[in-house]
Structure 1
Amino acid sequence: MGLLSRFRKARPDDIVDEDEVLARLSANSELQRQRVQADLQRDIARATALKIDAIEAAMAADMFDDPEPAFRRPPRPAPTPDRQDGNTLPLLDGAVTELLGEDETPAEAAAAERAPVVEEAALLYAGGDHDAARQLLSAAVADDAHPAGRRDRTAWWMLFDLYHVLGEQEAFDDLAIDYASTFETSPPTWQPPPTGNGDSYSGVAPTVQFSGVLDERVLPQAERLRAAATAPVLRVDFSRVQAVTPAGCPALLEALRAVAPQRELLLAGAEELVGQLRALLDVGRRDEGEAPWLLLLELLRLLNREKAFEETAMDYCVTFEMSPPAFVAPGNVASTPRQASAPPTDRYMLPQVIEGDTAPLLAAIRAYAGQGTALVFDCSHLLRVDFAGGNQLLACLRVLAAENGPRRIELRELNHLVAAVLRLLGFADVARLFPHRY
């Protein structure tokens, strides 16, 4: 029986389907293969992530361990005996634009102001030949065969300004990438031209100067700002502010909010004031009250710093447990760095173009000159000066420079194309030229 039992017919439950076994083995094998492949992909992803982290760490070390190359300041000429009265500034020599303090031109750029390519491009631009000036400047900044000339920043700045005049943001941004690569520094950023009627305005732009410590004694300065808030163009200057206290913030905040939104507003030194306000505040601390926080938010809004505004708004919300103000685009607002060396006087804003017959403009300038001894011209809207108009303006300034004086005359916020033209015409003999800073 035992032997026969071994050879008995298999019962249905004991029958094994060979195809089914093979299918199960195949499925198990495929599942195992997929698991191995998934583990392998995870290992590759981890290795890739570690490699990326290592590369980013190395790049960060290169960026932050090596200090950015600093501009060298050109040496200042020794004052002459007839310039010791303290009311006038030493005139420029024929070769460079000598600036004061934070307005100084880098030595590299000052040396290039008389370079042949700069002068030729200035001549072409003054004559209205924008295309030829563009080709010349583009060739200069791309000339790898002459690396010394390629590193003359004046040609780069002139080309940046030309792209801005022409409204070519894409070309501006492409040049900014090359600029950052060439000079290993932060490139200029595109600034859209002001909107509204400010561009067409020519005339006196009232200046409200804030100075010293902004504390409870700031009220008279804030009242002057409120009184001038309806001017077509208004300049608010914080360049001489040394410190700010919580007590001075409410009055300044109310005055800034009173400025009509359709007016053109020019801010000087606002970035520095933002830094002073940040130093006052800590997230979660309410000792200073809401006013410093709200003033900081208002300045960030006017500077169109939306990301910084939103981050500060979150800090305000955490600190006071209430909803912060919403960001509203500022509109017609421009900003310039602090200008501590500029005289605290109303400025005359020059028009977009000075060409041909300038008799009405010169009459208005002479009327402006009767208001004080220092003449400061805002050139932030000035796009081009031709030779006929430039020579007429120069003759007028020569006469004004000799009155009440010698008289202090400054042309500020020049674009670098116009600055080169004015140097060629001889404006440096009678006025100080301050190109805007990149």
Structure 2
Amino acid sequence: MGIFKLFGKKPGREEPTSSDKPASKKTRVKGQNTVIGQVQDDEALTHALTEKKHIARATERKIDAIEFEMSRDMGRPKSVASKTANDGPLTRTAPNQFHTDFVATDFQSTVALSMQTTELILGQTDLQAAPMAQIESVPLLEEAAILFATGQTKVAEHMLRSAIDLDNLGTATSLAWFMLFDLYQIEQNQYAFESLSLDYAGKYETSPPIWRNSDANKDAPASKDESAVPSLTFPSKLDGEIIKLLQKLNGFSENSKVLKLDFGRVKTVDPVGCGLLLRAIRNLQKTKHDLVLVAAQNLTEQIRSILEVGRRDETEAPWLLLLEILQLLQLKEVFEEASIDYCVTFEVSPPAYEAPTNKVTTAVPEPVSEEDNSDRFLMPKSIEGSTDALVKQIAAFAKDHQLIILDCSQLERVEFGASAQLLNGLVPISSSKDKSIQFHEVNYLVMHLFNAMGLKNVAAIFPRKQS
């Protein structure tokens, strides 16, 4: 017994119970599972990032491949093609020529290493007045329209300017802007018009109305330089197929210092088309070509429609094209707003505004007037004094038409007294059975005058589009 007691276990020290061991083992297993889960999540995130990078690079390679095919089809310039292998290094062509040596780094992949998203909404205020048969009566605006109709242009301008500054007309404030735009257009005050455009773009974050050239310039014979300007009209879909147009653009640029780009028909855009157009425009700027942009604001709206702040697509080309066009239009405040959205989306420093060094002018699409004379009556530029002759012409036109469309695209001003005569002359026509009268393309000054005089009770009034 002594020996067993000597080598036996000391009292007071107990072995851990069987229930203690599994507890520590469970803790280790749980920790291992957490680490494994984290590793799996990291692998999944890395895989997603890699996949997006591949998509972005594939889009850029597609743009590069399209441009390469274009440059190969066009062949080498004469200065290059005349060289043989023994002639030594090839010489570069003149810097004032436009070529397709595009650089693939003009824009980058939009997939960053971090995938943080920002929940912001690209807010756009659509203040374009839609055509309407009955226009809301706004006494202040109607008073300004009457002042303009009675020849008190400066008073009307001051009233509209005050309404814009006070901004107390609610949704009708936008109508005051449009009325003032029309006033400056009619008075041929382009400086005031452009200054108002900057304020409008900054407030509503959308493109302002476009300055239209005077009729005097349209009637004057075109000079050789103006008539010889090559024009390129882009299709309804701006995608990879525009490479065929860019081939023509390349040929035009070698023979003309001024180029006209028409975006009036563009309805949709995609990243590939935006990338191709972006590189072409940048090359035209490098070669110091002067540009005439037609309906450029339409292009910016189509680009905005596919963008979303905080969302990174396969390429940032649409964003960069939007910023490029805004710079060409010299819309600095709108550019800065868009650059901030671009900065938030891609987590980079916002690009700085750079005014174009080449000459850039804007123009509106030329109206298609094939059968306009047959289905509508063209109103004169100004209506003053007696309207008897005008009413007789409208009545003669109404004999052959159930729908009498009065085209006011050229109408600038209606004298106050003449508007009352016009109303009295149109009442018998509108009261005839199966006859209806519509005023189309009415400027906002005349529209509110008609509204105040009660013409909206005898005819539908459709205001002029400001885009």
TM-score range, shorter chain: 0.3 to 0.5
- How high is the TM-score relative to the length of structure 2? 0.43
Structure having greater relative contact order (Cα 8 Å, sep ≥ 6)? 2
